[in-house]
Amino acid sequence: MEKVQQSINIYPCPTAKPKPGQQSLGFGVHFTDRMFLMDYSAEQGWHDPRIVPYEPLQLDPASMVFHYGQSVFEGLKAYRTDDNKVFLFRPDKNAERMNRSCDRLNIPRIDESLFVEAVQTIVRLEANWIPVGNGASLYIRPFIIATEAALGVRASNRYLFAIILSPAGAYFGEGLKPVRIFVDDHYVRAVRGGTGHAKTPGNYAATLKAQTEAKERQHCSQVLWLDGIERTYIEEVGSMNVFFKINGEVLTPELNGSILEGITRNSVIRLLKQWGIPVTERKIAIDEIVRAAENGGLEESFGTGTAAVISPIGGLFWNGNDIPVNQGNVGSCSQKLYDTLTGIQYGRLQDEWGWTVEC
């Protein structure tokens, strides 16, 4: 890991953009006044960490990111508590995962404590951009792109690490709302030996067409991916990990190298275990879910991820058939997980896990 010696330089930010109203926040469309940048060169390693005004990046058209996609990213949130503190949720886990993504993409690792410090510093500077209100947050997007201007297929000698911030409205306006999911056995997101366990843009590029088709043809908001080899085993849903509660036991696909190791997934598993609910990480065939739905054993299903926290699944569309889940209602387990996780994130519940980090 590269050790960065310098401290973060904070440049003046002369202008302040007007802030969007609470109702028009949306997700990922407004950006704050500043961004964090840091450069990498083969000679200097990671250097010049700085916070500068948010503005266009100037990149040579031959920059490798445009041609060979060498790039990784992360996603986390800052939450404003009732007593006006600002919390991050397990940011060290994002730093660790970014480095695991870097390893797979042949990008030099970053200093994980600098990652957390950079997030804390810029969030503190932009704290007046953190929206108030239930479920609202400041979405934080760290990313690294290959910036060397050269067209050979090889690892870049130059990179840019950036962090941008976007105020985000509540994912669910008024209470959790179950979604309808398309189970895809045509397109494949990732396969063992590929990049599925890394957070790299190419994984998402591969899913756009399937997502568009699922929306247009079956009014499904997300795609559930099956494994690329047998197209039988459940992987994940859109940008969420997925859970099923069957006859009192919670199941989720094991970390097999082709799914992302979600931080919400990890937190959910730990909470369920604490509550004495059995959780098993293993291979889950889609047919097993169909059978459980048919014989009444399928109690609930939900996705987990930073954006929605818990997203209850009300039904699956698979092989031409609708498979209702919990009659389209929010399950009690989904609701309790959502309440507990958001309770910790917004400082309303005691954080006995040490998951929250103040800015």
Ligand X SMILES: Cc1ncc(COP(=O)(O)O)c(C=O)c1O
311 contacts: CB under 8 Å, gap ≥ 6: 171, 176, 179, 240, 302, 303, 304, 305
Secondary structure (DSSP) of 94-120: HHHHHHHHHHHHT-----HHHHHHHHH
By CB under 6 A, the residues from 243 to 282 that bind ligand X are: 260, 262-265
Q: CA–CA separation, 223 vs 208, rounded Å?
A: 10
* Shortest Å distance, C-beta 248 to its own copies: 33
Beta partners for 146?
159
Cβ distance to its own copies smaller for residue 240 or 313: 240
Nearest to 292 by CA among 262, 318, 260: 318
* Contacted entry of ligand X, its own copies, none for residue 214, CB cut-off 5 to 8 Å set by kind: none
Contact criterion met (CB below 8 Å) for 309 and 336? no
Does 202 help bind its own copies (rule: CB under 8 A)?
A: yes
Beta partners for 160?
39, 145
335 contacts: CB under 8 Å, gap ≥ 6: 176, 312
Tell me, residue by residue from 12 to 51, as one string, x for binding to its own copies by CB under 8 A and - for no binding: ---------------xxx-x---x----------------
Does 91 help bind ligand X (rule: CB under 6 A)?
A: no
By CB under 8 A, the residues from 207 to 246 that bind its own copies are: 207-209, 211-212, 228-229, 231, 238-239
Integer CA distances (angstroms), 140 to 25, 27, 116, 121, in order: 15, 11, 11, 12
Reading the block at residue 318, the tokens are 């698979």
Half-sphere exposure of 258 toward its Cβ, with a 13 Å CA cutoff? 20
The dihedral formed by the CA atoms of 204, 205, 211 and 217, expressed in degrees to the nearest 10: -170
* Shortest Å distance, C-beta 288 to ligand X: 21
Tell me, residue by residue from 242 to 271, as one string, x for binding to its own copies by CB under 8 A and - for no binding: ------------------------------
**Binding residue (CB under 8 A) for its own copies from 17, 192, 219, 282:** 192
* Contacted entry of its own copies, ligand X, none for residue 45, CB cut-off 5 to 8 Å set by kind: none
Tell me, residue by residue from 204 to 243, as one string, x for binding to ligand X by CB under 6 A and - for no binding: --------------------------------x--xxx--
Please identify which residue in the block is written with the tokens 């600002």. Answer: 86
* Shortest Å distance, C-beta 217 to ligand X: 22
**Binding residue (CB under 8 A) for its own copies from 14, 61, 173, 354:** 61
Cβ distance to its own copies smaller for residue 191 or 279: 191
Name the residues that contact its own copies, by CB under 8 A: 27-29, 31, 35, 54, 56-62, 65-71, 73, 103-106, 139, 141, 143, 145, 149-155, 162, 164, 166, 186-195, 200-209, 211-212, 228-229, 231, 238-239
